């Protein structure tokens, strides 16, 4: 027996920009709770949009560190194989459950074949190293446009 599987990527810059509108709305929620400044949220959105248009990452995390040091995150996994057909509204983060003094951060997971100039650009923008939040990912929402999108999951302590 012979099996053939053909896949087509659904990446386009227009689709990235459409999907990232939902992420911007998620970031605005963090600004409203004072987990991150408006300037940092805008910079993160710009950086994630750049990385996605370069097809450089497979996922990123919007991480939350509580005053006691425990961490939780929203993991956004890139889906560019045409299989993601659902799209949710943004929000629903339940950020009110996090205590005052919680700080937000961003972590990216690069694809194995990322171009060196992309990592160099991110270093120029002030990015360093970090770590993913450990735990089982529980699917929360999906943001998509014509088969391209992000799957948002909760990870860590919630």
**Phi/psi of residue 29, each to 5°?**
-60, -40
pLDDT in tens, 1-44: 665 444 457 889 999 999 999 999 999 999 999 999 999 999 99
pLDDT surpasses 60 at 88: yes
Domains and CATH numbers, the chain: 13-156 (3.30.900.10)
Over the chain, what is the mean pLDDT? 93
pTM confidence score: 0.90
pLDDT at 91: 83
pLDDT at 2: 60
Sign of dihedral through CA atoms 73, 76, 77, 83?
Answer: positive
pLDDT at 3: 56
Question: Which pair of structure tokens corresponds to residue 91?
Answer: 């929000």
Measured CA to CA, the distance from residue 144 to residue 76 in angstroms comes to: 12
Which helix or strand (DSSP H or E) is residue 24 part of?
helix 13-32
CA of 129: how far to CAs of 32, 65, 110, 119, 122, in Å? 27, 16, 11, 11, 11
pLDDT at 1: 64
């Amino acid at each position: 027996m012979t099996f053939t599987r053909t896949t087509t990527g659904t990446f386009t810059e227009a689709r990235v920009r459409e999907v990232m509108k939902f992420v911007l709305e998620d970031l605005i929620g963090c600004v409203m709770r004072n987990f991150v400044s408006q300037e940092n949220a805008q910079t993160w959105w710009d950086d994630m949009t750049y990385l996605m248009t370069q097809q450089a990452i497979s996922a990123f995390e919007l991480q939350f560190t509580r005053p006691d040091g425990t961490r939780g995150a929203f993991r956004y996994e890139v889906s560019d194989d045409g299989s993601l057909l659902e799209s949710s509204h943004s929000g629903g983060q339940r950020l009110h459950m996090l205590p005052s003094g919680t700080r937000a951060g961003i972590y990216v997971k690069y694809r194995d074949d990322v171009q060196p100039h992309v990592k160099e650009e991110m270093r120029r923008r002030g990015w360093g190293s970090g770590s993913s939040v450990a735990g089982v990912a529980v699917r929360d929402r999906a943001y998509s446009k014509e088969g391209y999108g992000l799957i948002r999951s909760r990870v860590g302590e919630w």
